[in-house]
Amino acid sequence: MTQEDMFNTRTRSGKQLRPYQEEAIQCVEDSFKDYQNCIMIMATGLGKTFTAVEIARRRGGRFMWVAHRGELIEQAEHAIAELTGVIPQIEMADRTARSTLGYNQGCVVGSVQTLNAKRNGVPRLHRFDANYFNMLVTDEAHHAVAATWVKIANHFTNNQDLKHLGMTATPDRGDEAALGQIYDTCAYRYDIQDGVKDGWLVPIMIQRIYMDEINLSRVDKLAGDFNQGQLDHAMRRDKAMYGVSEALKSEVGSRKTLVFCASIEHAQGLTDILNANMLGSAALVTGKTPKHERKQLLDNYRAGNIQYLCNVGVATEGFDIPDIGCVAIARPTMSRALYAQMIGRGTRPLPNIVDGLNHAEQRLQSIHDSLKHDCLVLDFVGNSGQHKLVSAADVLGGNMDTLVVQEANRLARKQGTPVDTLELLMRAEAIVQARLEREKQINERKKIKAKASYRKKPLDPFDVLDIAPVLDDSEWRVSPLTPKQLLFLQEADIDTSTMTVKEQRKVFATMMERKNKGLATPKQLRLLKRYKYDTDGMTKDRASGIIGRLAKNNWKKVKIKETLL
């Protein structure tokens, strides 16, 4: 099946499947041929629930869907009803599902807590005969090794004909318990960096805010993350909270912002400070917020009546508000899974921006042209001592070499302005590759006792300009660019913040030479190279003509000669 064919695949409800969703469905079905239990990993905002429901619908029969939060239960209830036409039975608190339905009749959505709760000394789970079901779906499956989840899985998988699908966006667990205890195989994985590169999620711009008032060096580690009480104490100092508030006001602009706080007291204090500056701009939501009040708060937040939503442990799972433009991490963490959950709240594009576009380039351009062209992630950090804080580079670079992620974090620490995390990782990868190449050359030259020295620096991230690398260390001899010259490069979409002075000079000279010759701009080159056009010596006007023809041809490649007509 081609990618274009996949875009023509629709569900029963008429909703169009994305290519990776169709691929995930097929991979899960293939895994079920050999295994009873498999897991599907798909980043937040990419439609895990939608994909899992479609898998269950295609398999037919009756299925049990398990989640651990009320919001997730309701989300599944609505999705199943919309996509299958079947109203699911609910087993949660005072809602009781009928247990006597036949094998081919519908589904049950159950709460983990409720299924483990006892009535007359018997867990409610045992009301359901496993043989009535042919599939078990566990939502947020990174929790699946917990005892309450294991009891449910064991009950249903005693039916050898039943298949068990787990789905999660964050497979890492702070206690390092192996999901392999539950799942036989990972059927499919599509991470956050895949979604960003392919234009299904918005780019993530990372900005670190360094605050001397935040001191984490004396906060102990507990179960893979900071001791919550000690972290709260560190983050709740008045100077720290006022510093976070000032940074939010200066960095966020008009973006709808979700703030993750260390405790209820911390969130309350920060909310009060923000409201003191602009009454009604901030609100607080926690796990203790009454349900009706929480709904009203979230409705106001969605409607844009509240800019800053300070939350504690509420918005990490099942929280879907696409126009969140900034995620503020005001509770530092050492947990990659938790960090991924937090930034995942801001990675969705606005509705109807990317669906129906067949190519990544089209989707990336559509996101760029939309009112939400990226997600700003503010990392509030201070003195962390020996603790290693997780950052966006750790999450997006999850499949990259550790050296690359470390280098990306080093570069991020040097940034004075927000930087695209994927571009930061690409630059880090180039630096590490150059460093390894240099070490290899040095070792080889040592073997032959050569005296010549060798040094190589990586290419600029915008390698579309085909600029040769800088090979010496004479930056101190080069005067820096003027503000006007730096502005010229920035307006050309070139990030100079991670370049040396000499690299900036070389890029500027190349750009001026290209401008004087009337050659294509970096933005034009980047677009045309993705379509595999030969851009060597191409003029700006010629590039503009080709791009115009591409747009008229629905962003499908056209032959160069056609542009001459």
Q: Please say if the pLDDT value at position 563 is more than 60.
A: no
Q: Please say if the pLDDT value at position 190 is more than 60.
A: yes
Q: Please say if the pLDDT value at position 547 is more than 80.
A: yes
Q: Please say if the pLDDT value at position 157 is more than 90.
A: yes
Nearest Cα residue to 112 out of 171, 182, 65, 63: 65
Span 307-318, mean pLDDT?
A: 84
Whether the CA torsion 128, 134, 137, 142 is positive or negative: it is positive
* pLDDT band at residue 175 using 50, 70 and 90 as cut-offs: very low
The pLDDT of residue 522 is: 84
Helices and strands, number each (H, E), in the chain: 20, 18
Q: How far apart are CA 249 and CA 103, in angstroms?
A: 57
Whether the CA torsion 428, 429, 434, 438 is positive or negative: it is positive
* Range scoring the smallest mean pLDDT among 15-19, 172-176, 195-199, 509-513: 172-176
Single-letter code of the amino acid located at 356: G
Whether the CA torsion 254, 257, 263, 268 is positive or negative: it is positive
Backbone angles phi and psi of 120, in degrees to 5:
55, 35
The pLDDT of residue 470 is: 52
Q: How far apart are CA 272 and CA 265, in angstroms?
A: 11
Q: Please say if the pLDDT value at position 160 is more than 50.
A: yes
Instruction: Name which residue leads in pLDDT, 64 or 506.
Output: 64
Nearest Cα residue to 523 out of 494, 552, 553, 563: 494
Give yes or no for a contact between 262 and 398, defined as CB atoms under 8 angstroms apart: no
Span 551-556, mean pLDDT?
A: 80
Instruction: Name which residue leads in pLDDT, 67 or 505.
Output: 67
Give yes or no for a contact between 83 and 15, defined as CB atoms under 8 angstroms apart: yes
Q: Are strands 63-67 and 107-111 parallel, antiparallel or unpaired?
A: parallel
Give yes or no for a contact between 307 and 258, defined as CB atoms under 8 angstroms apart: no
**What is the tens place of the pLDDT at every residue in 467-511?**
655 554 444 345 778 878 888 887 787 777 767 777 788 888 888
* pLDDT band at residue 18 using 50, 70 and 90 as cut-offs: very high
The pLDDT of residue 368 is: 94
Give bridge partners of residue 122 from the DSSP assignment. Answer: 119
Place of tokens 């280098």: 407
For 134-179, the three-class secondary structure string (H helix, E strand, C coil) is CEEEEECHHHCCCHHHHHHHHHHHCCCCCEEEEEECCCCCCCCCCH
The pLDDT of residue 56 is: 93
Question: Tokens standing for 179?
Answer: 């999901």
Report which DSSP code applies to 13: T
**What is the tens place of the pLDDT at every residue in 247-290?**
999 999 999 999 999 899 999 999 999 999 899 999 999 988 99
What domains does the chain contain, in order, with CATH numbers?
A: 3-190 (3.40.50.300), 197-401+411-420 (3.40.50.300), 460-564 (no CATH)
* pLDDT band at residue 354 using 50, 70 and 90 as cut-offs: very high
* pLDDT band at residue 422 using 50, 70 and 90 as cut-offs: confident
Single-letter code of the amino acid located at 90: I
Q: Please say if the pLDDT value at position 453 is more than 50.
A: no
Q: Which of 57-66, 69-78, 491-500 has the highest mean pLDDT?
A: 57-66
Question: Tokens standing for 338?
Answer: 């938790």
Question: Tokens standing for 55?
Answer: 């898998």
